[in-house]
A and B are shown apart, each in its own frame.
Chain A
Amino acid sequence: MLPIVILTLASTGFCLFLIAIPYFFAPKDKNSETKASAYECGLAPKQKRDSQISVKFFLTAILFILFDIEIIFLYPFALAYRDFLQTEQALGIILAMGIFILLFIFGLWWEIKSKALDWK
C-alpha cells in the first residue's frame, strides 16, 4: 500500500513542480477582458450557456454502471472456474451462472433492439 501512496504523491508533486515553473519564469499579465472571455472561434461569445443536452449521455452512463456490475460478477467466476469444474456441483454452478449471463444478454439485446444506444 505504501508504495502506491508514495508513487501517487511523487507523480502529483512532479506535476505541481512543472506547473510552478512558469510561475517564476514566464511573463505575467494583468487579467484582460479579452483573455478572460471564452474561446469561440475568435468571435465574441453571444449568449450564456443555455443549450439542450441530450438525455442519451445519461442513459449511456447508467447503462455503463449496470453492465460494469455484471462484468464484475464474471471476475470471481472466471478465477474459480477450473476449481468449480473439479467439484461435483459443477453443472449446477454453471447453470446458475448461465441464468445470470442469460439475463445479461437479454438486457443487452433489449437495449440494442429498442434503439436506446443509437445516434450518439
Chain B
Amino acid sequence: MGKDFFEISINLIKIFVILFSMVGLVPLLVWAERRVSALMQNRLGPNRYGPFGLLQILADLVKPLMKEDFSKGNKKLLYYLAPILAVVPPAVVFGSIPFSAPFQVPAFEFFGFDLGPYTFYFQSFHLNTAVVFALGVSSLASYSLLIAGWSSESKYPLFGALRAAAQNISYELALSLSLVGILFLFNSLDFLEIIEKQSGPLSFSLLGKDFVFSFLPNWGVFYQPLGALIFFVALIAECNRIPFDLPEAEAELVAGYHTEYGGIKLILFYIGEYSHMMVSSALMIVFYFGGFDPYPFSQETLLNFLGSDFKLSLVLFFVFIIKFFLFLFVFMWIRWSLPRFRYDQLMDLGWKKLLPWALFNALLTAWFIFL
C-alpha cells in the first residue's frame, strides 16, 4: 500500500473518497432517474424543492432514517446482514476500476521529508487479475437476495428471492462468456492494460495483411459488437433492472425479496442496486468503449498539448465521467422504454439465446485471431 507514511495516508484517503463518492452519487442517480423518466413520459419530475428539485434528495435521505426499525423472528442477524451484503460487493468492485491513467509523481520535498517518486493510481487498489476478481465479487451478490428472502420468514419473499437468485446466476454465465472474447483480443486480466490496448486507431492484421482504420478508435466494441451487446444485456439482467425486473415487480409476489424490509434497510437495497448499476456502466466502458480513451484525440497529443502527466490524468478522468454518465443514461432510457419480461422468457433468453451466442462470439474471435 505504500512505502512510507505519506503514500499510505494518501492511499487510505483515496479509498474513502472513492467509496463515499460512489455512495454519494446514488441519491443523485435517483433524482436523475426521476427526472429522466419524467422527460420520457412527458411530465415533470421533482422540481419543487430546490433548484431542479435537488433538495428532494435530502428529503429522500432523511425520511427513511426516521422510520421505525422493526425486526422479528429468530434470524435477526441475517435480516440485518442482507442489505449490507447488497452494498459491499459493488463497492469493492468499484474500487478496482481505474478512472484515469496513473501518473508519476516525481520526488519532492515536503516539510523537510524527502518523498520519493510515486505512481498514483486512480483506483483504490491496483490488481493484476482484476477481471476474475470483479466477476467473482459480483457473483456474491446472489447471497444478499437469498438471505433477504429467507430471513424474512415468509413465503413470498422466499420465492421471490429464489427466482431472483436463479435469474442472477443464469446471466452470470453469459456475462463471463462474453468477456472471453475480450480476453482473446487483449490477453490481459488487468483493467489498465486492457484500456491501454484500446488506445490509438483501429488496427489489426488479418491473413497477413495489416488494416488500419484511422477514423475509428481501437475500442473493443468495434472488434466484438455481438459480445458487447451480450455483455450489456447480461449486465442489465444482473442489476435486476427493467426489463429484467421480476424480483422487484410490484404486481407479482408483492415486492419480491425485500417485502419485509422498511426504512433505511430498504434504502440500502436501493443503494446496492444503483451501485451495481454504476459498476456495470464502468465495466462496460472499460471493456468495450476504451475506458478513459479520448476518442477524437489520442493520449499523446493531449499530453503534448497539456504538458504534464497530472493534467492529462485529470482530463482523462473527465472523459471517463462523461462516458460513465452516458451509459447510466442509457440504462435509465432502457428502463423506461421497455416492458418487463415474463419469467420464462427471461430464463429462455439467458440460457437458450445469450449463452449460445456468447459461445459463438468467443469461437469466432478465436478463429479470426488464428487467421
Direct contact, A vs B (beta carbon within 8 Å): yes
A contact set with B: CB distance below 8 Å: 2-4, 6-8, 10-12, 14-16, 18-19, 21-23, 25-29, 31, 35-36, 38-41, 45, 49, 51, 53, 57, 60-61, 64, 67-68, 71-72, 74-75, 78-82, 85, 94, 101, 104-105, 108, 111-112, 117-120
In the bound complex, do residue B12 and residue A75 qualify as a contact, i.e. CB atoms below 8 Å apart? no
Chain A neighbourhood of B11, CB < 8 A: 3
B305 to chain A, nearest CB (A): 33
Other-chain contact of B84, A16, A57, A104 (Cβ < 8 Å) = A16
Q: Can you list the 8 inter-chain pairs with the closest CB atoms, starting with the nearest?
A: A38-B154, A120-B347, A78-B183, A3-B125, A11-B91, A15-B84, A36-B72, A22-B69
In the bound complex, do residue A57 and residue B68 qualify as a contact, i.e. CB atoms below 8 Å apart? no
Please give the number of chain B residues whose Cβ is less than 8 angstroms from any Cβ of chain A in the complex: 72
A63 to chain B, nearest CB (A): 8
Q: Is the interface of B mostly helix, strand, loop or mixed?
A: helix
B230 to chain A, nearest CB (A): 13
B contact set with A: CB distance below 8 Å: 1, 11-12, 15-16, 19-20, 23, 64-70, 72-73, 80, 83-84, 87-88, 91-92, 95, 124-125, 132, 152-156, 158, 162-163, 166, 169-170, 172-173, 176-177, 180, 183-184, 187-189, 254, 259-260, 263-265, 267-268, 343-344, 346-348, 351-352, 355-356, 359, 362-363, 366, 369-370
Q: Which of B188, B346, B356 has the most CB of A within 10 A?
A: B356
Chain B neighbourhood of A71, CB < 8 A: 173, 176-177, 180
In the bound complex, do residue A3 and residue B154 qualify as a contact, i.e. CB atoms below 8 Å apart? no
Q: How far is the CA of A60 from the CA of B259 in the complex (A)?
A: 25
Q: How far is the CA of A8 from the CA of B96 in the complex (A)?
A: 12
Chain B neighbourhood of A82, CB < 8 A: 187, 369
Chain A neighbourhood of B23, CB < 8 A: 14
Assuming the contacts A14-B19, A57-B162, asked whether A4 and B125 have C-beta atoms less than 8 A apart, the reply is: yes
